[in-house]
Structure 1
Amino acid sequence: MAVSQVVRSEWTKIRSVASTVWTLSLAVVVTLALGALISALSKNEFDNMSARDQLSFDPTFVSFAGMTLGQLAMIVFGVLVVSNEYSTGMIRTSLAAVPRRGTFLFSKIAVAALLALVVGLATSFATFFLGQALLGSHRASIGDPGVLRAVFGGGLYMTLIAVFSMGVATMLRSPMLSLGILMPFFFLISNILGNVSATKRIGQFLPDQAGSRIMQVVTPLDDDTPYGPWGGLGIMVLWVAAAVLGGYLLLRKRDA
């Protein structure tokens, strides 16, 4: 089967499964809603902040507060794209139709990543403009230094979260096992390691903490992170590449 046919097949699979469509829709809604809420609250609380906090106030990053829950939906999307075929047994049919497993996997990832990128960028720009409108006089402009990079970075971050999840799901094959590992990793383990002084330097190199730097415009006064926005995104890309490579190697070696 030609690569173009495999790509079309994967596109048909993704758009025909209601759960993946609803998951992407949820990513948009929760990111916008929570970002708007935090932006409105930040505007009201700005005058009560300490002088130090006001100097570190990052209106762009505040509008992306909803990414915390938005990435949850992207994780679910990435897992479902891969593991739905394993849970239904369709993986045997897919691999029989596309014996070249590398072509099968990378076509699936390419289609899903492109869809995640479109949704991620649209969500990032929408949540930025909505958040800045609610911040009033404390808002940032898209033309301010570093802001456009941060907004594009928000879309890239959501895409990379989805692709990382696809790589992990390919290795584990089970949707429940994949979500059972990814959810605690991003929402519990990463936060603990990043906020405890003894493990903070380890936490800085986890994919979500490193990748989220791309969305920051104002550097906190006490920040000692050893890399910048693009360096952080680069670290996240390495995590994603490792997950996808691991999924590919295991897919090649084992039966469906």
Structure 2
Amino acid sequence: MASVQVVRSEWTKIRSVASTVWTLGIAAVVTIALGMLISALLSRDWEHLPAEERVAFDPTYVSFAGMSLGQLAMIVFGVLVVSNEYSTGMIRTSLAAVPQRGTLLFSKIAVAAVLAFAVGLATSFVAFLLGQSMLGEHRTSLDEPGVLRAVVGGGLYMTLIAVFSMGVAAMLRSPMPALGVLMPFFFLVSNILSNVSATKKVARYLPDQAGSKIMQVVPRAGETAPYGPWGGLGIMVLWVLAALVGGYVLLRRRDA
């Protein structure tokens, strides 16, 4: 019963902080709006696309074009959920009320993960449906092979991004260092490494590069990744577990 009360307490904390609610809304809006825009532009310029791009065209993945920016808001959500209490000093009160640090941390993460999944899954379906409406005759549908898996995978991907960010925030405690590591890592470092021939094979095992495979239905031209959609998601899960273990270990060892 004590753990149920902790979960309820964490739910109250999350929904009472406006910044965390806003970041989820921003993640949804950016993902959907940018996906619609890219889909509309590709539909308009279809006749001008090179033949190889038409062959490898993935209408499902195009709908998720906004995910690259939407995930940044999801990162902020994950960081704020964990680090807000450190910033305000409320972590001391929370630890006094819940001395079992693992219970406190994982209750917080569980509540935030469920919320992130609900928003992420809804965002993924809306982004897909509206993106397909923009693609016109080049669209696909949920009953096509692999499409439903990709759409549900979009929700899982956004959730794992948030949970990974929570683990990093638990290790670094302050929001600024956590965002200072995560933002460049996902927005710059990962993209740079994946576009440099010398580091491309390493980059495919980064969490976002591997995890995004779940949202693909048509393989990219020239792609030689040694894993499939679920294998890529599995690699991302391992990254998330490593971050959570690191956050838990440091939480147990350090003072508040």
Unpaired stretches in structure 2, ≥5 consecutive residues:
none
Task: Give the aligned partner of residue 12 of structure 2.
Answer: 12
Aligned residue identity for 1:218 = V
Match runs of 1:20-35 below 5 Å: 20-35=20-35
Structure 1 stretches of 4+ with a deviation exceeding 4 A read none
Task: Give the aligned partner of residue 123 of structure 1.
Answer: 123
Aligned residue identity for 2:3 = V
Match runs of 1:145-224 below 5 Å: 145-224=145-224
Q: Report the alpha carbon displacement of residue 221 of structure 1 after superposing the two structures with TM.
A: 2.9
Task: Give the aligned partner of residue 133 of structure 1.
Answer: 133
Q: Once superposed, what is the RMSD of the aligned Cα atoms? A: 0.7
1:93 and 2:93 aligned: yes
Deviation digits for residues 137-161 of structure 1 (CA, Å, limit 9, x no counterpart): 0001110000000000000000000
CA–CA distance in 2 between the matches of 1:22 and 1:222?
39
SS of match in other structure, 1:15:
helix
Aligned residue identity for 1:135 = L
Match runs of 1:49-60 below 5 Å: 49-60=49-60
Aligned residue identity for 1:150 = A
Aligned residue identity for 1:98 = V
Aligned residue identity for 2:183 = M
Aligned length: 256
Deviation digits for residues 54-109 of structure 1 (CA, Å, limit 9, x no counterpart): 00000000000000111000000000000000000000000000000010000000
Give aligned-pair identity as a percent. 75
SS of match in other structure, 1:220:
coil
CA–CA distance in 1 between the matches of 2:182 and 2:221?
31
CA–CA distance in 1 between the matches of 2:95 and 2:219?
48
Match runs of 1:60-79 below 5 Å: 60-79=60-79
Unpaired stretches in structure 1, ≥5 consecutive residues:
none
Task: Give the aligned partner of residue 36 of structure 2.
Answer: 36
SS of match in other structure, 2:45:
helix
CA–CA distance in 2 between the matches of 1:175 and 1:158?
19
Q: Report the alpha carbon displacement of residue 50 of structure 1 after superposing the two structures with TM.
A: 1.4
CA–CA distance in 2 between the matches of 1:148 and 1:27?
21
CA–CA distance in 2 between the matches of 1:125 and 1:29?
13
CA–CA distance in 1 between the matches of 2:246 and 2:210?
21
Q: Report the alpha carbon displacement of residue 39 of structure 1 after superposing the two structures with TM.
A: 0.3
Q: Report the alpha carbon displacement of residue 209 of structure 1 after superposing the two structures with TM.
A: 0.4
SS of match in other structure, 2:125:
helix
CA–CA distance in 1 between the matches of 2:174 and 2:46?
45
Task: Give the aligned partner of residue 241 of structure 1.
Answer: 241
* TM-score normalised by L of structure 1: 0.99
* TM-score normalised by L of structure 2: 0.99
